[in-house]
Amino acid sequence: MNTAHRLTGFFFVGVFLVTGWYMAARFPEAYHGDHATRLVFHAAHTHILLAALMNGLLGLPSQPGRTARRPRLQRAGSVLLLVTPALFTVAFVVEPGLADYARPYSATGVLSAFLGGLLYTAANLPRRDTAG
């Protein structure tokens, strides 16, 4: 999974750069003077970077001798974290155009990042010594 996280991190750093270029080239036409829409663009843009960096960090080589104690939890966390930047990218494209400023993709992305990070961390916690 390290390679998948590393590739996802690199790819979505590129997506972050493209969305930044889009905002630099298209603002203020993209938000038509509506500052709430502008904030939605900026928040989604920042979330893409956050998720890309999380995946990039998980793609770093792990410490020698450290393996997940609970591989299913780690896999579930990894999958959620791999999906997170795609959700934030969809949020960047879709949510600024929503009439009521609902943020369903951002909310799902934040939940995915939270649960993915929680599961990944729980999978790598040391087990308690029950012999003592």
Averaged pLDDT of the chain:
86
pTM for this entry: 0.82
Q: pLDDT, tens digit, for every residue of 66-97?
A: 666 788 888 999 999 999 999 999 999 999 88
DSSP of the chain: -HHHHHHHHHHHHHHHHHHHHHHHHHTTTTTTT-HHHHHHHHHHHHHHHHHHHHHHHHTSPPPTT---SSHHHHHHHHHHHHHHHHHHHHHHHHGGG-TT---HHHHHHHHHHHHHHHHHHHHTSPPP-TT-
